[in-house]
Amino acid sequence: MMLQKAHKLSEYEPIVGQQVIDDLHTLADNINQKSVLHVNSTKSGGGVAEILFRLVPLMNELGLNASWEIIKGDQLFFEATKTFHNALQTGMKIAKPQNFEEFERKTTENLRDLRIDADTVFIHDPQPAGMIAQRKQGSDQRWIWRCHIDVSNPASDVWTFLAKYINKFDASIFSAPQFGRNDLQIPQFLVPPSIDPLADKNRELPQTYIDRVLSKYALNAEKPLITQISRFDYAKDPIGVIEAFKLVSKHIECELVLGGSLADDDPEGLEVHSKVLKAAEGRKDIHILLIPPFSDLEINALQRASTIILQKSVKEGFGLTVAEALWKSKPVIAGATGGIPLQIKNGLSGYLVHTVEGAAYRMHYLLRNPDVAARLGRYGRENVRENFLITRQLMDYLLVMVSLRRKELAPILASSGLPKKSDRVQ
């Protein structure tokens, strides 16, 4: 598939330092098997696709002959995988027999239509997990299952079904330590996701462009702006965001933006969007924006114009929008779930909340105390620079690849100077 033009590694040097760039080249030179393939289920509408758009070209620059493919799906398949997604994150036994049948049906079709012959294969999330059946007996390939969602307390029927595929991989990668599984028979690594500081969604913008975006969406630049950017998904709790905003707006005049896109592999998106519109009905200070995929500059502008950014998730694999907001030195209030606490140290780089009332309290406090908001933003940006930029994730992936090719180098992952970033999950 077509890839967006990426920046050169040398362009990251002013941000991360020359030593990081040199280390990336050294690691890549130690990988003898050079071809790498990433496989997922959608080219847009989520953090996985965003990362791959930036990561694959950087791998190519390092001489790894990297590519990216997407499995094919239809409505029944994506309804099944969305059910799996919800069952894995909530622990609820909601999957039906036909969901498992649809997964196997479409997996069989994809095995026929998509040929995988790369030296190292990254399979992202449950949707393409069945592609492991294409691995040849005795092959020198390395297959890695990269899980981006919270599987710490999954529904047993779905997990048991998927584990029969996952245990055929050479290794698995999770985004947060609590997602690791003691019932997997393969090595497990911890690699949090990342953002690209040079991407359109994160680079600096002129104020004139930000003003144009505010005008386009009829937003009042004179009022404090509270924003949540995410897919329209129950796990992001958009209704809870509206309820919290309504509590705050009784005391402080401000505006709310709930903006996001619809993912190709998420059939619930339209349903959630409809319920969000109903919850915001009659409120001129609440703006529900259905933003098309690849509107990265507009999202960037909305985040930069915001006084506070929310990510009030009740379940979350990682939450890239948190890192995006922190990189822009914005105070962030987010749900204490999944990989979000890796990014936010409560009271230092933002606030973690569990309830609507808690979110409203923190919003009210930050609107009344802009000096505190500014301090949180400064600390948050530095935390992202040190831990959650794409060069760090690229390095971690290279470390995993080297480890799987050279077993004697596996201890590198525990002593690389990257504590808790790329480590075996015990």
> Which distant-in-sequence residues (6+ apart) come within 8 Å of 413 by Cβ?
189, 399, 400, 403, 422, 423, 424
Region label for 218, one of left (φ > 0), alpha (ψ between -120 and 50) or beta (otherwise): left
DSSP-derived 3-state class of residue 49: helix
> Which distant-in-sequence residues (6+ apart) come within 8 Å of 320 by Cβ?
47, 50, 51, 193, 195
Distance, in Å, from the CA atom of 67 to the CA atom of 53, rounded to the nearest integer, reads 10
Q: Residue holding tokens 């496989």? A: 39
| Per-residue confidence (pLDDT) for residue 265, from 0 to 100 | 64
Closest CA to 150 of 191, 103, 92, 91: 91
| Per-residue confidence (pLDDT) for residue 262, from 0 to 100 | 76
Bridge partners of residue 286, in order along the sequence: 256
Element (H, E) at 256: strand 255-260
Distance, in Å, from the CA atom of 9 to the CA atom of 403, rounded to the nearest integer, reads 23
* Residue 195 DSSP class: B
Instruction: Give the pLDDT of the chain (426 residues) as one tens digit per residue.
Output: 444 467 899 999 999 999 999 999 999 998 877 899 999 998 876 789 889 999 999 999 999 999 999 999 999 999 999 999 999 999 999 999 999 999 999 999 999 999 998 999 999 999 999 999 998 877 889 999 999 999 999 999 999 999 999 999 999 999 999 999 999 999 999 999 999 999 999 999 999 999 999 999 999 989 999 999 998 999 999 999 999 999 999 999 999 999 988 766 677 888 999 999 999 999 999 999 998 877 899 999 999 999 999 999 999 989 999 999 999 999 999 999 999 999 999 999 999 999 999 999 999 999 999 999 999 999 999 999 999 999 999 999 999 999 998 754 444 443 333 333 333 332
| Per-residue confidence (pLDDT) for residue 113, from 0 to 100 | 94
| Per-residue confidence (pLDDT) for residue 172, from 0 to 100 | 97
| Per-residue confidence (pLDDT) for residue 45, from 0 to 100 | 66
Distance, in Å, from the CA atom of 228 to the CA atom of 259, rounded to the nearest integer, reads 6
| Per-residue confidence (pLDDT) for residue 407, from 0 to 100 | 58
CA distances from 339 to 94, 227, 316, 368 (A): 24, 20, 7, 28
| Per-residue confidence (pLDDT) for residue 215, from 0 to 100 | 96
Structure tokens at 150: 């919270």
pTM: 0.88
Closest CA to 24 of 390, 381, 385, 387: 390
Region label for 225, one of left (φ > 0), alpha (ψ between -120 and 50) or beta (otherwise): beta
| Per-residue confidence (pLDDT) for residue 9, from 0 to 100 | 96
DSSP-derived 3-state class of residue 355: coil
* Widest CA span in the chain: 67
Distance, in Å, from the CA atom of 48 to the CA atom of 125, rounded to the nearest integer, reads 9
Distance, in Å, from the CA atom of 167 to the CA atom of 180, rounded to the nearest integer, reads 13
| Per-residue confidence (pLDDT) for residue 227, from 0 to 100 | 98
Measured in degrees and rounded to the nearest 5, phi and psi for residue 37 equal -125, 130
| Per-residue confidence (pLDDT) for residue 264, from 0 to 100 | 65
| Per-residue confidence (pLDDT) for residue 426, from 0 to 100 | 28
Domains, the chain: 9-194+390-414 (3.40.50.2000), 207-387 (3.40.50.2000)
Q: What is the 3-state secondary structure (H, E, C) of 265-282?
A: CCCCHHHHHHHHHHHCCC
| Per-residue confidence (pLDDT) for residue 88, from 0 to 100 | 94
**Helices 356-368 + 370-387 axis angle, to 10:** 110
